[in-house]
Amino acid sequence: MRVRILRDAILIAAIAAAIGLAVNGIRSFAALGGLPLDTPWPDNRQRVELEFPPSYEEGDSLLTLEDAYNLYLGGKVLFLDARDPIEYEEGHIKGAISLPFDWMEEYWEDVKPLLDPDREIIAYCGGIDCEFSVFLARDLKYQGFEKSYIFFGGWLKWSEAGLPVEISESDND
């Protein structure tokens, strides 16, 4: 009897698989959302190197370069540049907003309306010698923006990878 149960289970699985493949085949043929079975996805299985900031604490949400870029492609994330305004002007991640950690109070009023607790926020700083991204993200989480992420060493990694950046036009020119 146990063999029969196993046989039934395998049979059900096989029949379901066959139905699924058949439906997918029809959808592919009719251009109705079928998945191409011979097209692989990018291989993302390796454990990616994640650098931990010296003052890392449990609760900090760290991102790799790949994570940050994936979120960037999603189009919904907000990058916050925690460096000095001059560094920001010389080059920042495309679409990022300047929120210098050393001048938080001055910038906060203008930046806060752009923030949304439901929106992913990525704080980044220069290289791995700068931990402003860590402190900024913690501040944001403390204020209720739960989806605040730390892109440690962000600017250096992003720019070295040749990912989209922009330069601010100086108002003085």
Contact residues for another protein (CB under 8 A)?
1, 4-9, 11-13, 15-17, 19-21, 23-24, 33-45, 47-48, 50, 58-64, 66-67, 70-71, 74, 120, 146, 149
User: Shortest approach of another protein to residue 135 CB, angstroms?
Assistant: 17
What's the angle, vertex CA 14, arms to CA 8 and CA 20, rounded to 5? 135
Q: Give 100 or 115: the residue with its C-beta nearer to another protein.
A: 115
Q: Using the minimum distance from each CB to another protein, give the nearer residue, 107 or 135.
A: 135
Give the residue from 74, 50, 47, 70 showing the smallest Cα distance to 60: 50
- Give min distance, CB of 140 to another protein, in A: 13
DSSP state of 164: -
Residue 123 CB: number of other CB atoms within 10 A? 28
For residue 152, give the DSSP letter.
Answer: T
Minimum CB separation of residue 22 from another protein in Å reads: 10
Nearer to another protein, 12 or 167 (CB): 12
Q: Which CB, 20 or 95, lies closer to another protein?
A: 20
Q: How far is the CB of 121 from another protein (least distance, A)?
A: 12
Return the residue matching tokens 């944001």.
140
- Cα angle at 162 between 161 and 167, to 5 degrees? 130
